[in-house]
Structure 1
Amino acid sequence: MSPAAGVAAHRDPNVLRWVAAYTVSMVGDMVFYLALSWAAVQNGTAAQAGIVTAVSAVPRALLMLGGGVVADRFGPRRVVIGSDAVRCGTVLAVAAVLFVTDPGLWLLALLAVVFGTVDAVFLPAVGALPAQITTKDQLARVQGMRGLGIRFAAVVGAPLGGLGVAVGGSAAAFACAGLLIAVSVPLLVSVRVREPAPDEATARNDTTAWRDLRAGLRHVRRHRVLGPLMITIALGDLGFVGPLNVGLTLLADERGWGASGMGWVLGGFGTGAGVAALLLTVRGRVPYAGLVAAGAIIPGAAAIAALAYAPGLPVAVGTAVLVGLLTGLSGAMCGALLQTQADTAYLGRVTAVAGIVSLGIAPLSMPLSAAAIGVWGTGPVFVVSAVVCALGGVVALCAPGLRRAELPK
């Protein structure tokens, strides 16, 4: 069945089912990672716990391009349902083991590796699915709805995971995560998708996986919008992830804001990012999308630098709201352009390339930021990170195809 034509995405039951499934699954992910972190700390040293919680990123980064090929060859809906079911079954199995015995760190490390491996397939398929559940002019609105789902998961997931740990320990928290992911599976099964065109289906069957991979990379490299867009996303994430994760923790400690102060700053960022996602959800289309993306990145980067020099907590929270609003708007525009500019047949692979940047390369900036702050302090490191982030906006402004890119009407 085809997606409903002429129906706004936020009023389309088919899209709403997908958003609900995605949001519930993301809440489950938040609970899972909190439970994994808590269980690792309880079973080993702080260094060992860090290794366990980070090990899932390795297969995710190494295998994500292959996951994009799988999503494009077999269809994103089928891949999302299958991988979500595997994630659910794996987490519930570990929860059952933890209820009976305490196997130690090896089971947690194995779980992290399995979860990261399945994520390498799940994430590109999730990114490719919106193009098959709605029309192209609604993809930007879906991107905003997806952003709201991520904000909701961030707000609800951690307290829910903490409640699970408090009630029944790590086993209860893992069981909660598995059940949340389980809820998303029947919702995904109920989602209708557009059938692939005959030439798309033939192309899937007539090529090898290696050729598919090379074709996807070539599609990104030669595209007048997607090529510079990937560089913009990479620079933006590299400049953003360090300061807003480990850097913010160190800044709060340096200024004496404490954990509650850091929570207020993070809340400010989440509020700004949520407003940006809501704007795109309501409007559905922002004119001059490429120019808006570039124009929001640069002042957003300046706000990141200013955060390190905020004279007090109230100013820091206000600055964080601005950072969230501007970077959230630029991120939403970049995501919407990726969805609308990529050929549908390549969307899984295109999403995988962007995912490698965001989930594989950008996290490397966190230990580097921590080490640099230890040597030079928060101010200089936040400024350098802001410059890197702003370079993404400069790339977008200097690339005519991206600067002039528009969202479909």
Structure 2
Amino acid sequence: MNTVENRVYENWRRNIILFLTSQTISLFGSMLVQYAIMWYITLTTESGMMMTVFILCGFLPTFILSPVAGVWADRYNRKRLIMLADSLIAFATLILAILFLMGYDAIWLLFVMAAVRAFGTGIQMPAVGAILPQIVPKDMLTKVNGINGSIQAIMMFVSPIVSAALLGFAPLETIFFIDVITAAIAVLTLLFFLKIPVHEKAADKQTTSYFSDFKLGLQYVNNHKFLKSFFLFFAVFFVLMAPASFLTPLQVTRTFGDEVWRLSAIEIAFSIGMMIGGGVIASWGGFENRIKTLGFASVIMGLCTFALGVVPNFWIYFAFMLLFGVAMPIFNTPANVLLQEKVEEDFLGRVFGVMGMISTSMMPLGMLIFGPIADFIKIEWLLIGTGIFIIILAILLWRNKGLLEAGNPISKKI
């Protein structure tokens, strides 16, 4: 470890506080807009097809950009890439707010906005995933990722409440302007207060093309036995998670009532659960084998998905949504830490780019399958079926010897 890295790790607590603070502020504004747009479309159209279009607009640009963005995260300054992404989203949101003020409030504009925001997310995701090991010592990655999960959960708790309150007395463009302000604060915080040295590959003169770097990244994944199996599991998992992730607001509207407070309540339940789960994984750290922790959380989410399809009472539904939230950080944290620990730093951006491609292609694929079906088959049946398959997938994960070996602590390996 060189002198610059030593200085960074000496001040890692200050650096991670500044970084997470900037990302939290930005996330708050983004989630206000996300909830406002999602509820606006849900309550205005009550259509599974329209929700599918919204989801596709919010994911496909990230999928298309991820290969390039992963290369960027390895070739260039990751902090600047994060600032660029926030700035792009803020500028697009500002334009949309102005259009709404002028009376242009067509639904298709919200789809365009979802696509632009997804483009910025595509730039940001690989950079954020790859930058944490630059700031945080490896033995603290689980705790920091867990804390970050709790912070995100707090935002998920606060955002729907604030968004619903604002929608009750203010026009949609008010929320858009709030997002612009929060993004600006986040960018300025990173620009003036956080110093992160450029990682080694970005500091060197680039002698290969983008395509060559991307190809090398794919070869790295293909030659890495753990990554191939790991990504296959996630591809199937994300497809199966689509109904629980995106169709539950529509289910609540159809089954329990179309009041905004009900939509807000299930989001609040999920975020309270995530706060609890983030605290649990940060203090507990999970099982000694990270794959076992992933499988444990997958079983819980499968059971909750099944339960959401059968419970007849809204408040029991609320309770299972809370438990679902508890499982989410217990699932996400070991997954992120495994990549941060197992992947060489020069390939982190590209590996997280591939992960972004999987998450942003499999979710829309799931919605292409389940979204239109939800207009003539009860969503409850979709939840029951996918819940069963998620549990089966978790069992297969536990029985995969290669993944279990990769999930062991380094000291436990032969």
Whether these two folds match at TM > 0.5 is yes
**Structure 1 residues 408 and 19, CA gap change in structure 2 (3 angstroms):** farther
In the alignment, which residue of structure 1 is the partner of 2:86?
A: 84
Matched, 1:298 2:287: no
Kindly state the Cα deviation for residue 259 of structure 1 after the two structures are TM-superposed.
Answer: 5.8
Kindly state the Cα deviation for residue 36 of structure 1 after the two structures are TM-superposed.
Answer: 4.6
| CA contact 2:62–2:356 (8 Å) conserved in 1 | no
Structure 2 counterparts to residues 278-297 of structure 1, below 5 A: 278-283=279-284, 286-297=287-298
Q: Of the candidates 179, 190, 194, which is equivalent to residue 191 of structure 1?
A: 194
Residues 324-380 of structure 1 show CA distances to partners (whole Å, capped at 9, x for unaligned) of: 323431222212212222221111121122222223321332353344455553454
**Structure 1 residues 301 and 16, CA gap change in structure 2 (3 angstroms):** same
**Structure 1 residues 53 and 31, CA gap change in structure 2 (3 angstroms):** farther
In the alignment, which residue of structure 2 is the partner of 1:357?
A: 358
In the alignment, which residue of structure 2 is the partner of 1:114?
A: 116
| TM-score normalised to structure 1 length | 0.84
In the alignment, which residue of structure 2 is the partner of 1:17?
A: 18
Separation (CA, whole Å) in 1 of partners of 2:100 and 2:257: 38
In the alignment, which residue of structure 1 is the partner of 2:72?
A: 70
Residues 129-183 of structure 1 show CA distances to partners (whole Å, capped at 9, x for unaligned) of: 2111111222222211221232122222233334445555233221111001111
Matched, 1:177 2:176: no
In the alignment, which residue of structure 2 is the partner of 1:128?
A: 130
In the alignment, which residue of structure 2 is the partner of 1:207?
A: 208
- Consecutive unaligned residues of structure 2, counting only runs of 5 or more, are none
- Structure 1: which amino acid aligns with 2:331? S
- Consecutive unaligned residues of structure 1, counting only runs of 5 or more, are none
Kindly state the Cα deviation for residue 94 of structure 1 after the two structures are TM-superposed.
Answer: 3.6
Kindly state the Cα deviation for residue 235 of structure 1 after the two structures are TM-superposed.
Answer: 2.3
- Structure 2: which amino acid aligns with 1:196? H
Q: How many pairs were matched up? A: 403
- Structure 2: which amino acid aligns with 1:134? V
**What SS does structure 2 have at the residue aligned with 1:232?**
helix
- Structure 2: which amino acid aligns with 1:239? L
Worse-matched range after superposition: 378-387 or 368-377: 368-377
**Structure 1 residues 265 and 408, CA gap change in structure 2 (3 angstroms):** farther
- Quick one: percent identity of the two aligned structures? 19
**Structure 1 residues 253 and 397, CA gap change in structure 2 (3 angstroms):** same
| CA contact 2:297–2:330 (8 Å) conserved in 1 | yes
Separation (CA, whole Å) in 1 of partners of 2:291 and 2:177: 43
Separation (CA, whole Å) in 1 of partners of 2:189 and 2:234: 31
Separation (CA, whole Å) in 1 of partners of 2:105 and 2:183: 24
- Structure 2: which amino acid aligns with 1:130? L
- Structure 2: which amino acid aligns with 1:89? F
| CA contact 2:157–2:267 (8 Å) conserved in 1 | no
**Structure 1 residues 53 and 104, CA gap change in structure 2 (3 angstroms):** farther
In the alignment, which residue of structure 2 is the partner of 1:345?
A: 346
Kindly state the Cα deviation for residue 385 of structure 1 after the two structures are TM-superposed.
Answer: 0.8
Structure 2 counterparts to residues 393-408 of structure 1, below 5 A: 393-404=394-405, 405-406=407-408
Separation (CA, whole Å) in 2 of partners of 1:374 and 1:97: 32
Runs of 4+ in 1 over 6 A off after TM superposition: 38-50
Kindly state the Cα deviation for residue 128 of structure 1 after the two structures are TM-superposed.
Answer: 1.5
Worse-matched range after superposition: 113-122 or 165-174: 165-174
Kindly state the Cα deviation for residue 285 of structure 1 after the two structures are TM-superposed.
Answer: 6.5
Separation (CA, whole Å) in 2 of partners of 1:42 and 1:272: 25
Kindly state the Cα deviation for residue 205 of structure 1 after the two structures are TM-superposed.
Answer: 0.9
In the alignment, which residue of structure 2 is the partner of 1:55?
A: 57
Separation (CA, whole Å) in 2 of partners of 1:406 and 1:239: 27
Worse-matched range after superposition: 133-142 or 256-265: 256-265
- Structure 2: which amino acid aligns with 1:309? V
Kindly state the Cα deviation for residue 97 of structure 1 after the two structures are TM-superposed.
Answer: 4.8
| TM-score normalised to structure 2 length | 0.84
| CA contact 1:239–1:387 (8 Å) conserved in 2 | no
- Structure 2: which amino acid aligns with 1:143? N
**Structure 1 residues 185 and 63, CA gap change in structure 2 (3 angstroms):** same
**Structure 1 residues 45 and 281, CA gap change in structure 2 (3 angstroms):** closer
Separation (CA, whole Å) in 1 of partners of 2:404 and 2:32: 39
| CA contact 1:308–1:382 (8 Å) conserved in 2 | yes
Residues 18-74 of structure 1 show CA distances to partners (whole Å, capped at 9, x for unaligned) of: 111111111111123345557879999977797567534332221111111111111
Separation (CA, whole Å) in 2 of partners of 1:390 and 1:142: 28
Worse-matched range after superposition: 152-161 or 311-320: 311-320
| CA contact 1:238–1:388 (8 Å) conserved in 2 | no
**Structure 1 residues 303 and 115, CA gap change in structure 2 (3 angstroms):** closer
**Structure 1 residues 149 and 371, CA gap change in structure 2 (3 angstroms):** same
Separation (CA, whole Å) in 1 of partners of 2:44 and 2:322: 37
Separation (CA, whole Å) in 2 of partners of 1:193 and 1:379: 48
Separation (CA, whole Å) in 1 of partners of 2:74 and 2:280: 30
**Structure 1 residues 33 and 322, CA gap change in structure 2 (3 angstroms):** closer
